[in-house]
Structure 1
Amino acid sequence: MRVLLVGDYPPPYGGVAIHVRQLHQFLRGRGVETKVLDIGKGGRPAPDVLPVQGAAAFGLRLAGFTSAGWTVHLHTSGNNPKAWMLAALVGSMPGSRSPRVITLHSGLIPDYLAASQARRVFARTALAGYARVVAVSPAVRDAVIACGVPARKVLMQPAFCGSQVQPGPVTPEVEAARARRQPLLTMAHHPSPVYGRKQMFRALKLIAQAHPHVGLALFGLGTRSDEFVRDARELGVAGLLEDLGELEHANALGLMSQSDVFIRPTTHDGDSLSVREALALGVPCVASDVCARPEGTRLFKAGDEHALAAAVSEALKAGPATVRAPDAGPVLLDVYAELMPSGMAGAGTVKAA
């Protein structure tokens, strides 16, 4: 069995990129010959990870694998035209012995597809070349089926490999934050309004009324921007923040493991990797009710900072709970085995790789 994963690979440390890396690690650990076509920004070199820049280079690389009969698994957001053009390209690449699988990751997919009939028709056409379509949530699954994709092809599976969640060492910066903050809350940050920064800051000010030594540790993109600094000052929480910037994924897990509550105040969401990571680490998790959340997540009404503050207070009182983490690795391994043409386990070589 030989599997080519196509998608972003860290850095940067977005949810899709982390899932691709963890799935890659899982498959290699099971002895599966696995490579990655990194279509992101091209991070540091890693074994069997092939960065590609430009459409021509990508097409040549991909054609080499499909002609050699590799199973190709594309990971993409599915919430913009570029993602669907990529899906159409990978699904239609010649190679009759090369099964195709796609995982659609974004929680924005239902709204994106509902916006026009043309989008739904294009999505159905783009997905025709895939033997399996993996939807990360029930809402994404339903949206894909509503486009006309046969339900038998669609698998609902969270994009999470629980077996690969291993926190890294706790850095001196995290140790210092832990020492001066009680409680210490954490949040994955992104400059997009979808991530709910302003709502979190408003809720943090309310939480500080009962917990004057509280701190919110933020990690991710955009924590040093002018807009971030402005919001922190205008909403009166600048002195309550621990800005850790963009962290290596293992270090982010190390921070998460030291926190009292992890918070996901998003206005739209899919199956959040960070929510599942927090739960797998035994950290109480508070998240908005904008989508289905894993068992053990404490929900609050999206857009209501008072409800968010109350949910955090409840989570602090309740403390950690043990939650069984799902693992996409074994599920996808079974999918690949099912789709692999008979007699193809060792056939073919990839000249373009």
Structure 2
Amino acid sequence: MRVLLVGDYPPPHGGVAVHVQQLHGYLRGCGVDVRVLDIGKGGRPAPDVIPARGAAPFALWLARHVATGWTIHVHTSGNNPKSWVLAGMVGSLPGPKSPRVITLHSGLLPDYLAASDTRRSFVRVALAGYARVVAVSDAVKSALVGCGVPAEKIDVLPAFCASQVRPGPVPSAAEAARSRRRVLLSMAHHPSPVYGRALMFRALRELAQTWPDVGLALFGPGLESEAFIRDVREARVAGHLEVLGELEHSAALGLIARSDAFVRPTTHDGDSISVREALTLGVPCVASDVCVRPQPARVFAAGNARELARVIREAVAAGLMHVPQVDAGPELLSLYGELSSSNGLKSSHEQGSGLGETRHAAQ
């Protein structure tokens, strides 16, 4: 079995890139011949990761793998034209011995498709060349079915590999933040308003009435922008912030593991990897109700700062809770086995392990 993962690879450590990295690590650990065709902004060398900068190098590498019968698994958001051009290109490339799979990650996808009949028509055509489509939520699946994609072709499977969640050492600034805060919250930051920064700041002001020394550790891009500084000033929360910048993924997991709660106040979401990571680590997690959240995450009404503060208090009071989370790795490995078998490419690894039998999408 040979698998080529096509998508972003860290850095930066966005949701799609982290999942590709996790899945790559899982498959390598299983002895699968796996490579990544990195179409992101990465650049850091990693074993079996091919940087594809520009259309010509990408097309060349892709064609080589298709011609030699690799299973191609595309990972993309699905909420912008570039994403669907990629999907259409990979799905339409001739190569009957090279099965195609695509995972669509974004919670913004349903709104994106609902906005245009042309988009829905293009999506139906772009996905025609894929043997299987993986949607990270029921909402994403419903949107695809609404475009005319056959429901039986779509699996709902969160983009998460619980076995790959491995916290690492944290920077000294994070250790210092933990030592000086009786209550330390953590949050993944992004300059996009979708991440709910302003809402979190309003809730933080309210939490400070209960916990005067409460801290919010922020990690991610955009923490030095003018918009960020403006929001901090307007919300008057500077004394409660621990601004850590962009962290290596293992360090971010280490920070979350040291937090009293992880907060995800987004206005839109697919299936957040960071939420599942926090829960895998046993850390209480508070997230907006914009999509179905895995148990035992606590949800609040999106946009309601007062309710967000209330639910955070409840989560911190409840403390740690370890509940097993889904692992997409075995499910996808089984899917690759099915596709290889149907193409007459079943490997000795599959024959010995019994893979390639009927799968059941995990939720």
Range into which the TM-score falls when normalised by the shorter chain: over 0.9
Aligned partner of 1:165 in structure 2 is 165
Deviation, 1:173, is 1.3
CA RMSD of aligned residues (A): 0.9
Deviation, 1:125, is 0.4
**1:106 lines up with 2:128 in the alignment:** no
Deviation, 1:153, is 0.7
Kept in 2: contact 1:69–1:98 (CA 8 A): yes
Kept in 1: contact 2:103–2:135 (CA 8 A): yes
Q: What per-residue deviation string (whole Å, max 9, x for no partner) do you get for residues 63-95 of structure 1? A: 000000000000000000110010000101111
Aligned partner of 2:308 in structure 1 is 308
Give 3-state SS (helix, strand or coil) of 1:17's partner: helix
Kept in 2: contact 1:42–1:52 (CA 8 A): no
AA aligned opposite 1:210: T
Structure 1 residue ranges (4+ consecutive) displaced by more than 4 angstroms after TM superposition: none
Give 3-state SS (helix, strand or coil) of 1:4's partner: strand
Give 3-state SS (helix, strand or coil) of 1:294's partner: coil
Alignment of 1:85-96 (within 5 A): 85-96=85-96
The 2-side partners of 1:12 and 1:171 are apart by 18
Q: What per-residue deviation string (whole Å, max 9, x for no partner) do you get for residues 195-225 of structure 1? A: 0000000000000000001000000010111
Kept in 2: contact 1:2–1:345 (CA 8 A): no
The 2-side partners of 1:343 and 1:276 are apart by 34
Kept in 2: contact 1:12–1:43 (CA 8 A): no
Alignment of 1:234-245 (within 5 A): 234-245=234-245
AA aligned opposite 1:287: A
Deviation, 1:145, is 1.0
Aligned partner of 2:122 in structure 1 is 122
AA aligned opposite 1:342: G
The 2-side partners of 1:72 and 1:324 are apart by 29
Aligned partner of 1:264 in structure 2 is 264
**1:326 lines up with 2:326 in the alignment:** yes
The 1-side partners of 2:11 and 2:162 are apart by 20
Alignment of 1:192-341 (within 5 A): 192-340=192-340, 341=343
The 1-side partners of 2:276 and 2:89 are apart by 31
Structure 2: tracts of 5 or more residues without a match:
349-363
Q: What per-residue deviation string (whole Å, max 9, x for no partner) do you get for residues 94-148 of structure 1? A: 1110000000000000000111111111001000000000000110011111111
Structure 1: tracts of 5 or more residues without a match:
347-353
AA aligned opposite 2:247: L
- Distance change >3 Å, CA 142–CA 68, structure 1 → 2: same
- Range that drifts further, 167-176 or 185-194: 167-176
The 1-side partners of 2:67 and 2:171 are apart by 46
Aligned partner of 1:21 in structure 2 is 21
Give 3-state SS (helix, strand or coil) of 2:186's partner: strand
Aligned partner of 2:344 in structure 1 is 342
Deviation, 1:174, is 1.2
What fraction of aligned residue pairs are identical, expressed as a percent?
66
Aligned partner of 1:47 in structure 2 is 47
Kept in 1: contact 2:135–2:157 (CA 8 A): yes
Give 3-state SS (helix, strand or coil) of 1:28's partner: helix
Deviation, 1:343, is 3.8
Deviation, 1:316, is 1.1
- Range that drifts further, 280-289 or 165-174: 165-174
Give 3-state SS (helix, strand or coil) of 1:36's partner: strand
- TM-score by length of structure 1 reads 0.97
Give 3-state SS (helix, strand or coil) of 2:275's partner: helix
Give 3-state SS (helix, strand or coil) of 2:323's partner: coil
Structure scoring higher RCO (CA < 8 A, sep ≥ 6) equals 1
Aligned partner of 1:349 in structure 2 is none
The 1-side partners of 2:182 and 2:139 are apart by 37
Kept in 1: contact 2:337–2:346 (CA 8 A): no
Deviation, 1:169, is 1.2
Deviation, 1:344, is 6.0
Give 3-state SS (helix, strand or coil) of 1:216's partner: strand
Deviation, 1:172, is 1.3
